[in-house]
Amino acid sequence: MPTACPVPLQVMSPQEMSGKRPQLRDDLKALHGYHSPQLDVTVRLNTNESPAPPPAEFAAAVADRVRALDWNRYPERAASELRSKLARHYVDVLPGITADNVFAANGSNEVIQSVLLAYGGPGRTAAVFEPTYAMHSQIARTTATTIVVGERAADFSLDLAEVHRVLDEHEPAVVFLCSPNNPTGIVDPATSVGEVLDHVEAYGGLLFVDEAYGQFSPQSAASLIAEDRSLVVSRTFSKTWSMAAARLGYLLGPTWLIESLELVVLPYHLDAVTQIAGETALDYGDQMDARVAMLVEERGRLVEALSDLPVEIWPSGANFVLFRPTGIDGDEVWQRLVDESVLVRNCASWDRLDGCLRVTVGTRAEDDHFLEALRNILG
């Protein structure tokens, strides 16, 4: 039987294509994707990953379970075992917590997206207080949620007067607080979070506290979660659990809100391998706690060393430190560090962070390499 002759693909110039392509939404045309450089360097301290891999026995246990997977079957849609184990992990903080208070997703960014799909959208607003995590605004815009922006204080702490002004003026449907804040590392006091929550609830909004770095902080808003409170707290496995490759995040909140997210999340959105990795990781809580303690101690050593250099430093409750070199352009310092095979985050594109760099707390050897290179650059 003769086969049909393939039809050659007609190549058209941009001029010929004019008016023929589908058009991007107008509100997305000015957006830029969220990117962090991935360069081939000896010391990579730009994305706040854990400097140490998970325990070897964790990797072996995950591999054993993955080998036994029924690959022809969909994953368990509700991720029940993972959510149950997460609930048990937080029972000391939230007595009575169950799987119904937990939502798991592909990284904390899908958690943010799901909340905004459910409670944001056209005709609704979300509030952020700059400088802060860029994806809160980015995801809000991609879900057609209008962003209203308040400013943090001169020292990047939360300015409650400014928060109240924004909330009174706009009554945003979703209010984002990031604590410890990214990229500054500032921790919002519990009293401030409570005051913002009271104000948000007074007009019927939702407070979203992003605690991606919460395990490194001495406090958490999770203890404020209750069935009659409009508060959710998000966290991630990427940092303290050394599982950035798995892309697993989760949210703690009242059951009525968790139920609402099922209306917007895609079917079987959390694959079986990710669920297995999360479930297995929760069996190694002691090792996670030890890693956190090690990084907090190393953060103190790093800050002390930076204090001896001509840089401005901000206090951090996270696994990174924000600093600004004095007397030399931050872009030049960033490039010269790359030339020394050290990659840190250039934060100049963030609001009010001209000349600022952010360094992830690495191993002692990695931090020493970074400090030696920085000392040479700063003279």
Per-residue 3-state assignment (H helix, E strand, C coil) for 224-257? HCCCCCCEEEEEECCCCCCCHHHCCEEEECCHHH
Last residue of a domain, one of 244, 262, 284: 284
Quick one: pLDDT at residue 111?
A: 98
| DSSP code at position 267 | T
Q: Is residue 195 part of a domain?
A: yes
Q: Are residues 209 and 328 in the same domain?
A: no
Last residue of a domain, one of 251, 284, 317: 284
Q: Are residues 292 and 225 in the same domain?
A: no
Q: Are residues 139 and 241 in the same domain?
A: yes
Q: Is residue 373 part of a domain?
A: yes
Q: Are residues 149 and 262 in the same domain?
A: yes
Quick one: pLDDT at residue 16?
A: 61
Q: Is residue 92 part of a domain?
A: yes
Q: Are residues 277 and 179 in the same domain?
A: yes
Cα–Cα distance measured from residue 212 to residue 20, given in angstroms and rounded to the nearest whole number: 43
What is the number of structural domains in the chain? 2
Domain hosting residue 222, numbered range: 69-284
Last residue of a domain, one of 284, 315, 341: 284
Q: Are residues 259 and 120 in the same domain?
A: yes
Q: Shortest CA distance to 347 belongs to which of 366, 324, 369, 367?
A: 324
Q: Are residues 219 and 294 in the same domain?
A: no
Quick one: pLDDT at residue 11?
A: 64
- Which amino acid, residue 267? P
Q: Are residues 280 and 296 in the same domain?
A: no
Q: Are residues 351 and 303 in the same domain?
A: yes
pLDDT tens for the 379 residues of the chain, in order: 555 566 566 666 656 655 578 888 888 777 666 666 678 899 999 999 999 899 999 999 999 999 999 999 999 999 999 999 999 999 999 999 999 999 999 999 999 999 999 999 999 999 999 999 999 999 999 999 999 999 999 999 999 999 999 999 999 999 999 999 999 999 999 999 999 999 999 999 999 999 999 999 989 999 999 999 999 999 999 988 889 999 999 999 999 999 999 999 999 999 999 999 999 999 999 999 999 999 999 999 999 999 999 999 999 999 999 999 999 999 999 999 999 999 999 999 888 999 999 999 999 999 999 999 999 999 8
